[in-house]
Every structure is written in C-alpha cells, then in structure tokens.
C-alpha cells in the first residue's frame, strides 16, 4: 500500500509542472486574432473560398510556420 501512495505522489509531482505549462496566462485578444488572420491572408489564405477551405488554410499555416522557423533560425545565428 505504501508503494501505491508513493507512486501516486510521484505521478502528481511529475504531472503538476506539465499542466501549469500548458495553460496560457491570458486569453487571445481581438488584435492578436486580426494579426494572425492578416498573416495567413498574406501567406495565401482566402477566407471566402469554401471550396478549398481545409487545404487553403493548412497551406497558409504551413507557409507561416516555415517563415517563423526561418526567422527564428536567422535570429539564432545572428546571436552567435
């Protein structure tokens, strides 16, 4: 029984930091949503095109993610 209590206590200690990191400190603002939409539209997303909806936004998100990844790599190499 003592082993079970220790296992539960250990699992709780391990899981607590994971849960705290998963939460955002504040909700997303309208300005943040508008900025993200503008960034997606710049990457090729057309909000009023229901015929190509899933593919259209997935492609735009991939483009934005690639741009953000490239920008982070540039900033990392500039700091060296």
Residue 73: what pLDDT?
76
Contact 37, 47 (CB under 8 A): yes
Range of 69's domain?
Answer: 2-78
- The predicted pLDDT at position 26 comes to 84
**Looking at the 3D structure of the chain, how many domains does it have?**
1
pLDDT at res. 65: 94
Q: 57 vs 4, 35, 39, 52, 54, CA distance in Å?
A: 48, 15, 11, 8, 6
What pLDDT was estimated at residue 19? 53
Q: By C-alpha distance, which of 56, 22, 18 is closest to 40?
A: 56
pLDDT tens for residues 12-46?
656 656 555 556 678 899 999 999 999 999 999 99
Q: Does pTM top 0.75 for this prediction?
A: no
Query: Which tens digit of pLDDT belongs to each residue from 40-75?
Result: 999 999 999 999 999 999 999 999 999 988 888 766
């Amino acid at each position: 029984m003592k082993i079970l209590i220790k296992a539960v206590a250990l699992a709780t200690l391990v899981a607590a930091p994971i849960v705290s990191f998963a939460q955002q400190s504040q909700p997303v603002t309208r300005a943040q949503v508008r900025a993200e939409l503008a960034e997606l539209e710049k990457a090729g997303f057309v909000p009023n095109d229901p015929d190509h909806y899933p593919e259209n936004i997935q492609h735009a998100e991939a483009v934005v993610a690639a741009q953000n990844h490239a920008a982070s790599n540039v900033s990392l190499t500039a700091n060296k």
